[in-house]
Amino acid sequence: MERNMPSRRGLLATSMGAVAASAFTSKVRSAGSTFNLWTFGDAHVGTDESMEDVLGSRSGRSGTRHLEGNGRKSLAEAISQSEFGGKEGGPPFDWDIAINVGDMSGARGLPVDQEGEEIVRQFLALKKHKREDIYDICGNHDRSGLDQPDAWWFQKWIDPLGQHTEFSGVNAAMRPYPIDGTWERYSFRVGNILFLMMSDRNERSQKVGRGTLGGNPGGVVSGETFAWWKKMVEANPELIIIAAHHYVLKNTTVASGEWEGMRKNKDGMWVEHYHGYFEQGTPQGASYLYWVDSKPDAQAFEQYLNAHPGAIRMWLGGHTHTNPDDTYGGKSHIEQKWGVWFLNVGALTRYHVSATTVPMSRLITFTEGSDEVRVQCYMHTSQFAPQGWYPKAERTLTLHKAFHW
């Protein structure tokens, strides 16, 4: 057992302790009942925790503005606030399952075991829910190196398939809604909602990338994953389909356009703003899903949705950390395009790209028999607005298809 690791017995006991409440909730389904989906991302645990092994070197990027987190537990605090309320007055809230859209790691280089151990420890903050109630995908900072096994760190410590329980504490048999697929792409059903979960990954055609170029922003989906997504969409037209990836699509939500992740300095040079600037990478596409099937700026999803409007109902992403009122590029955190609602649901971190970051998450409520969805914004600190719900950012979305258990 690795140093200071919570025991497997302890992790499974924590999960088992929440089973009764979860099972009871699953049985209470009636007209007007709700499905509460908590969505979050970009915890960047190592950055907020100020882990020396994680922060690493800042070489290679221009204008880096990370602050040390002074031991802040970004993931554990958010979990505790959701279940018991916050120290600054934020109320607790009910949720059935959660979706984490990635970037658990805060590594400036490659993610390491020490940060994985800390993430598992922070998941022990779950008291009313199981670890398996949270469904995860890989973000750009969770990627492994180009010369390493695909997503080894993500698979070992975040482990959506529950294949490495001795490290992650995830037991696939405990999932309230079983998943089908691989670490890179998987699906699960909740009533008539079909979730299509797609992880970010290294672009195979790049010779210099993750690690050497820090987080190396610029979202990636393999050709196989895009083909899977298209097949699943076309095979399930009767369902409410919700796609999730760490990145949103181009020109959908705040700062998701070309070059919108950067700013120019007084000398006219591109520098970091929302995202790190790496000339050898693809900084122009740092804010959106840039690579599909090894094609840069492919816009494969965009073209499909333009030709098939409303084929899915919602796309969940994160990656760009900013306050809930930011509309850079003429786009907010929640926008509709091609008949699809796009939501940026991050970020939990306070200190990763601290110049723009405000810790927050979203609660999405579906009601039995209704095609309307309530989206609430929860502020996890009081730096921008009082901790708790931020009414100005609340939205009601129409899906044009009613939710049913």
Position 374 in a domain: no
List phi, psi (to 5°) of 306.
Answer: -65, -35
* Percent above pLDDT 90 for the chain: 78
Q: pLDDT at residue 302 above 80?
A: yes
Three-state DSSP class for 319? Answer: coil
pLDDT tens across 28-79, in order? 466 679 999 999 999 999 999 987 655 554 433 433 344 455 799 999 999 9
The three-point CA angle 125-98-96 to 5° equals: 90
Q: What is the mean pLDDT of residues 351-372?
A: 96
Quote the pLDDT of residue 208.
67
Q: pLDDT at residue 27 above 80?
A: no
Q: Give counts: helices (H), strands (E), the chain.
A: 10, 19
Position 213 in a domain: yes
195: containing domain: 8-15+42-363
Tell me which residue of 230, 241, 138 sits closest to 184, measured CA to CA.
138
Cβ atoms of 404 and 192 within 8 Å: the answer is yes
- C-alpha distances (whole Å) from 102 to each of 10, 39, 106, 245, 379 are 25, 11, 11, 8, 19
pLDDT tens across 377-402, in order? 999 999 999 999 999 999 999 999 99
Q: What is the mean pLDDT of residues 234-244?
A: 98
pTM: 0.91
Quote the pLDDT of residue 9.
47
Q: What is the CATH number of the domain that holds 205?
A: 3.30.750.180
Position 286 in a domain: yes
Cβ atoms of 384 and 323 within 8 Å: the answer is yes
Identify which of 139-148, 175-184, 214-223 has the greatest average pLDDT: 175-184
The length of the chain in residues reads 405
Position 314 in a domain: yes
Cβ atoms of 137 and 199 within 8 Å: the answer is yes
Position 116 in a domain: yes
Residue-wise DSSP of 224-271:
HHHHHHHHHHHH-TTSEEEEE-SS--TTSSTT-STTTTEEE-TTS-EE
Three-state DSSP class for 117? Answer: helix
- Cis upstream peptide for 13 (omega within 30°): no
Quote the pLDDT of residue 340.
98
Q: pLDDT at residue 22 above 50?
A: no
Position 79 in a domain: yes
Position 402 in a domain: no
Q: What is the mean pLDDT of residues 131-148?
A: 94
The three-point CA angle 295-301-306 to 5° equals: 125
Position 130 in a domain: yes
Q: What is the mean pLDDT of residues 237-244?
A: 98
Q: What is the mean pLDDT of residues 173-180?
A: 98
**In the predicted model, what is the mean pLDDT of the chain?**
90
In angstroms, the CA 399 to CA 148 distance is: 41
Quote the pLDDT of residue 108.
82
In angstroms, the CA 171 to CA 180 distance is: 14
Least confident window among 1-10, 199-208, 288-297: 1-10
The tally of domains found in the chain comes to 1
Three-state DSSP class for 198? Answer: strand
